[in-house]
Amino acid sequence: MTKRLKGMKRQQTGITLVELMVALAIGSFLIIGAVQIYNQSRQAFVVNESIARVQETAQFAMDTIEADLRMASNWGRNSRGVAVEGRSLVGDANPNNMTVPIPTCGDEWAFDLARPIDGDDNGYTLACGANGGFVGNSDVITVRRTSVQPVVLEAGRLQVQSTRIQGEMFEDGAIPPAFSPADSSTHNLMVNSYYVAPTSQLMPGVPTLRRKTLTMRNGGPFVDDQEVAPGVENIQLQLGIDVDEDNTVDRYVNPGHAIYDPNAAGYVPGARVITARVWLVVRGVTAEFGIEDGRDYQPSNANLGQMNDGFRRLQVSKTILLRNART
């Protein structure tokens, strides 16, 4: 029996070293492939997230400005700023001696209802200082209108009482004598000036869209400065002018052009702003590795050139029809 066992060949158990090395090699390739797929998926997620955030910022900023612009020249029951008593007149910015909102952005800032849309071309000329400074090659967009829905009377707030043919600005909380409550409605005066500041209060170092907005504080009109959308790097505006009252745009001009300014020597009587073109340049809040942006950014008449600073950017534009500008 013993001799028989000694004569039998011993059977191998387990795997050989060669088989183990082959298995390790195959496993390593699989792990490396899985890691690469994960990294690619992670990178794609980061890129898509960055693109989505820039797009969301652009859409929010454009929607905010567009909603304001569309309602420009809405004075309650009518849309004729020249028919509202108390508006700025040529040579008299505040004919009814109403309280100028503080900090003052200029007498005409709140009362120039004959120009429901105005602004500065690649600069900032408002008397009220920009919070944190301003981007010099970006426009300022100023919109004047009233609240869409009627409101209650409120002493100390600038309001407009209007019918279908006339209106009057007031601030004492009492309906002007020339108006009947049954035939008129009360609306809050709204003025917003949009501009770009070089840094955000929420995200230091990130440019941001801000606005000066007419509110009420301590029983009187007040100009608040609000942050709207961090990441907006530049805004530009052009105004579509109708000069022959046929409700079509005859030419586009930059904000502050004399053609629609009754106080300017080049004013064309009857010229009306009926559309607005808005450009936005929006960037990500953080730089991204590997971003090489060689595009030239030229919104409207501004030339921002090539950035190449690692930030993802998006330039968008939109032409907005002004609901209350057409006859």
pLDDT digits (tens, 9 = 90+) for 135-191: 989 999 999 999 999 999 999 999 999 999 999 999 999 999 989 988 999 999 999
First to last CA, the chain: 119
In the predicted model, is pLDDT for residue 250 greater than 90?
Answer: yes
Question: Domain of 235?
Answer: 44-321
Contacts of 216 (CB under 8 A, 6+ apart): 154, 156, 157, 222
User: Does residue 20 lie in a domain region?
Assistant: no
User: Does residue 18 lie in a domain region?
Assistant: no
The structure's pTM equals 0.86
Amino acid 50: pLDDT: 78
pLDDT digits (tens, 9 = 90+) for 31-89: 888 888 877 777 766 667 778 899 999 999 999 999 999 999 999 998 888 889 999 88
Question: What span, in angstroms and rounded, lies between the C-alpha atoms of 289 and 119?
Answer: 37
In the predicted model, is pLDDT for residue 11 greater than 90?
Answer: no
Which tokens belong to 125? Answer: 């000329």
Specify the number of domains making up the chain.
1
User: Does residue 37 lie in a domain region?
Assistant: no
Residue 215's alpha-carbon distances to 60, 65, 120, 220, 224, in angstroms, are 22, 18, 22, 9, 7
Torsion of CA 204, 209, 211, 217, to 10 degrees: -40
Positive or negative: CA dihedral 168, 171, 176, 180: positive
User: Does residue 232 lie in a domain region?
Assistant: yes
3 band by pLDDT with thresholds 50, 70 and 90: low
Amino acid 4: pLDDT: 54
pLDDT digits (tens, 9 = 90+) for 96-105: 899 999 999 9
User: Does residue 3 lie in a domain region?
Assistant: no
User: Does residue 52 lie in a domain region?
Assistant: yes
Burial of 91: CB neighbours in 10 Å, binned 0-12, 13-18, 19+: exposed
Amino acid 194: pLDDT: 98
Amino acid 29: pLDDT: 84
User: Does residue 14 lie in a domain region?
Assistant: no
User: Does residue 249 lie in a domain region?
Assistant: yes
Contacts of 221 (CB under 8 A, 6+ apart): 99, 100, 101, 102, 110, 156, 157, 158, 171, 214, 215
